[in-house]
Amino acid sequence: MKKYFTFLLALALCSASYAQTGYRIGAKVENFTLKNAQNQAVELSSFNDAKVLVVVFTSVTCPYSRLYEGRLQSLAQTYAGKGVRFAYVSTTIGLEEGGEAPKAQPDRPSSQTAPYLTDESQQLSKQFGATKAPEVFVLQNASDGFYLRYKGAIDDNPQAESYVKERYLASALDALLAGRSVATAERRATGCLIKRF
């Protein structure tokens, strides 16, 4: 019984430490630099004109990411006039062969409305604590930098947009633009697991 209790305690501590990786809600996000599809450096500070920045960790080989492409593009267009910008970060998932570093995809629909950046070392996904593709991180711009206000799922139905009942990302954006805090600041993302090198 004692061994079983010790095992459960160790398991709980491992889960707690894993869950606490990356930025917590309310944390200030450090500046970062990634390359875009044209191999140009893009920094977090490049988005200083935005009221809110949505960082989307995604993968061109993940079926879930493909299911959300149209929805994300629609959200980016809907909120563009309200001071919201999107940035897509290409990351490697477990389905990809050989563990190659992700590459920016200039031909993706999302790149027409927002930069598509490459996280070659996966440093940024580790820094944010991203574990799935797609997974979103909503950053609010303040006078001294960007702060994390929401992270996780885009909505409650990745398979069928017509059956979506709760639009988590849209609700978070609406709240922030109205000067309110996000009611539920974290939702578990559904998607492909990000592969760590």
pLDDT digits (tens, 9 = 90+) for 137-164: 999 999 999 999 999 999 999 999 999 9
Does the global pTM surpass 0.85?
A: no
Cβ distance 165 to 104 under 8 Å?
Answer: no
| Structure confidence at residue 101 (pLDDT) | 46
**Is 120 a residue whose pLDDT tops 80?**
yes
Alpha-carbon torsion, ordered 42, 45, 51, 54, to 10 deg: 40
- 191 vs 71, 108, 173, 195, CA distance in Å? 15, 18, 21, 12
pLDDT of residue 113: 62
For residue 140 the two structure tokens come to 């609010």
pLDDT band at 99 (very low <50, low <70, confident <90, very high): very low
What local confidence, expressed as pLDDT, does residue 100 receive?
47
